[in-house]
Amino acid sequence: MTEKPNPPLSPPLQRLMLQVADAVQAVRSGRSLTEVLARCPAELRPATQALSFYVLRLLGGAEAARALLAPKAPPPKVDSLLVSALALLWPCAPGTAPLYTDHTVVDQVVSAARKRAPASAGFVNAVLRRFLRERATIVQAVQASEPAAFNHPQWWIAQVRADWPEHWQAILQANNQHPPMTLRVNARRGNAESYLARLAAAGIKATAAGALAPQALVLERALPVGLLPGFADGDVSVQDAAAQLAAPLTVGALGGLPALPAGARVLDACSAPGGKTAHLLELADLDLLALDSDAARLARVQDNLTRLGSSARTLAADARDCAAWWDGRPFDAILLDAPCSASGIVRRHPDVRWLRRPTDIANLAAIQTELLNALWPTLKPGGRLVYATCSIFKAEGEKQIDAFLQRQTDAKRFDVAGVSGHLLPLTHNGEAAGGQTSVLDGFYYALLIKNF
């Protein structure tokens, strides 16, 4: 599914805007977009998601414009419709075209307002028309505010600036780009080169992601997975290139470390939804335990493994409570893809920045600490633990592991060139400019070895 709807083929914008307004209102009140979209009518869901993503990437500016145009906020159900419309009317980046004409947006949103709050339709119409008349001036005025200029909450901007003083603006700009759709070719079924040929035969353009993720291919355009050759048979999966680094770190031969032998005992400690679990099994024959605290999400792990023709033991349990699930036999390797802020994958989940609160980072870091402390004793001497988060915040990466190494005298960090540490969602020159989109999402990786 592409993120940009095709207006001539989409449902009427009036219907879509009511769904989008509901989604935006839900996110602003603390509910995830995934949860909201699950309740959206099936025939409206793809276009609703595309428009919601579009609006959420521009929400900071749209909210600031609404505050300037109407300092007294209207009721939430009207306000969410209004800011969604302002986002659609926002000036496009150079070289891009608006999704809909200005006239269509105003006409359809006012019609939607008549259905949702008839008494507010005139107000909505007046605000939108004034915005169009004074658009350039209003946009310039509100972008003096950082949340409007970068479309992130102020606390988030401050945290990125503190952690990455040389790249903070580029990171925030990268977060507002459309991410590429990246595939992982099943290493048991083929390689990137052979699958590129299959895509070409199907008229699908793609390029190799590079040596860092040798099984990764980047599509020129996103498309439904049902159109991917062999997807239903497990020949290929959808997974960001940065996420594809976890499995090789856990089981592969790296910089003098040997690959794990067949039958090695491996724990995937926070396994849902199962992309990394499946990748581990594509790379090696393992005695793998896939653990997750959420039984419903764990079912998705099994679904992924079934499609790929793989198998592993799955268990719903809190990895921190080892007494409830560990049989006392140490693991050769552990993959801890820890719960985190998801600050590195904001371009794929634009609601995350608006859902998180400043206190969440410390709370999540505390959970990460508990997981590391609990799992380390289950690793055999000489074994490896890969700690991963899809976060760019140093509290969930570099600072977390520095503190762990201070506590655990039998742990040492094993650096892998190009992978260890924080990966930022930037283009090759460290900036998010020139229309380029980074292949990698933001991640953190640390490979830890347990001393004998």
Active site residues: 390
Token output for 411 = 């742990």
Beta bridge partners of 207: 218
Report the half-sphere exposure of 201 (CA within 13 A, side-chain side): 9
Could you list the beta-strand ranges (E) of 271-378.
286-292, 313-316, 331-337
Q: Please, how many CA atoms are within 13 Å of residue 308, restricted to the half-sphere of its CB?
A: 29
Rounded CA separation 207/185 (Å):
13
List of long-range contacts for 118-127, beta carbons under 8 Å, 24+ apart: 120/74, 120/75, 120/78, 123/70, 123/74, 123/78, 124/78, 124/81, 124/82, 124/85, 127/66, 127/69, 127/70, 127/82
User: Which amino acid would we find at residue 354?
Assistant: W
Residue 142 near residue 68 (C-beta atoms within 8 A) = yes
For residue 447, the surrounding DSSP H or E stretch is strand 443-450
* Nearest in space to 17 (alpha carbons), one of 103, 87, 72: 87
CA distances from 400 to 292, 297, 394 (A): 21, 26, 7
Beta bridge partners of 238: 183
Among candidate residues 387, 405, 393, 388, the one with its CA nearest the CA of residue 361: 393
Q: 395: which residues sit within 8 A by CB, 6+ positions away? A: 361, 362, 365
Q: In this structure, are residues 397 and 413 in contact, taking their beta carbons and an 8 Å threshold?
A: no
Largest CA distance in the chain: 74
